[in-house]
Structure 1
């Protein structure tokens, strides 16, 4: 079942974010703080715009979600004003030092203290972006396609011209999925690929 986000979904979304946070694999072993990954990649989206978050459930609970913003530049401004300050107080900059034990909390702390800005050229044509995560038990059942088509329909209703996302180089299955969904690879780097979809055409 897919339905719009409700505030009580947030804990389940954080859990899914962590359990898919290593290029689609379980990242629990990589984080001392199990909420940190969700603070960056899941939590802010339904707070900033709950109308662009949908969740998927089965009989065992929440197993996937898609989150998005229609205006990435405005969202990044909102993060700086409303979301990052509280997290910076909770996770001081000194925690951005690599402890050398293989954990990745420090990378997420570095992100929230020095978040990257999306390039202007990309946002002129594809201002929206998304994150989607689905647990293994929900994969291969069409949930990803349904979540993304639900999102793109909502973005089209808002008149958003295009959508982008990032996919890590360690997740070739996701890359193939996005190609099948109608995304194109715009740019490739050592970390992975930026992919785009124009929303004035059908999937």
Structure 2
């Protein structure tokens, strides 16, 4: 194999349906991109807690709309996860997923033990307030996407968004939304370039949406 061909194969990525076997890889991607796209390892004691909130629920509750990006060594280096009907998904999240998380994370850390951000996620696991989830008329579906740095800047983010949009369209979705940190200017530029626009905002979050019909 020539040097150029070898270099090309090292940077080859493919979108694949996400399986349970990919869950640990997706959870790791969630952590390594969990600080507005940057590595969040230093912010958490438990390396899985963030992924248990933002990645794993989709792999278990919405497997037909969960996809990973794998490199030439079959390592997970990105994902796009979606729910067709957000309202129904959140109900299942509360009724089916949270009981499992309450077993794993049996108690919220005490005030004096809240050194890192684990407690915020664990506190969320112990809340059954479905009203805290945003729903948007005309944008019933929602998605999450994250890519490790080695997979960024090569067009795969766009390919993954297009892939999940096509999957949602085939299932009859009329629109999709997502949430992001307001300070992530790179992500905002990426999403707006793909046709997303602002639906709502507060101090901590921007919600963007895109019509699919």
The TM-score normalised by the length of structure 2 is 0.87
Whole-Å separation in 1 of the counterparts to 2:190 and 2:112: 33
Q: Secondary structure at the match of 1:95?
A: coil
Cα contact 2:94–2:130 (8 A) shared by 1: no
Whole-Å separation in 1 of the counterparts to 2:152 and 2:106: 37
The TM-score normalised by the length of structure 1 is 0.92
- How far off is 1:59 after superposition? 2.8
- Which residue of 14, 22, 41 corresponds with 1:9? 22
Task: Say if 2:178 is the partner of 1:165.
Answer: yes
Q: Secondary structure at the match of 2:109?
A: helix
Task: Say if 2:90 is the partner of 1:62.
Answer: no
Decide which structure has the larger Cα Rg and report it: 2
Partner of 2:5: none
- Which residue of 26, 34, 42 corresponds with 2:39? 26
Whole-Å separation in 1 of the counterparts to 2:50 and 2:110: 14
Partner of 1:174: 187
* Moved >4 Å (runs of 4+): none
Instruction: Tell me the matched-pair count.
Output: 197
Q: Relative to structure 2, which stretch is displaced further, 107-116 or 66-75?
A: 107-116
Whole-Å separation in 2 of the counterparts to 1:87 and 1:19: 21
From the superposition, tell whether residues 199 and 113 of structure 1 become closer, same or farther in structure 2 (CA, over 3 Å). Answer: same
Gaps of 5+ in 1: none
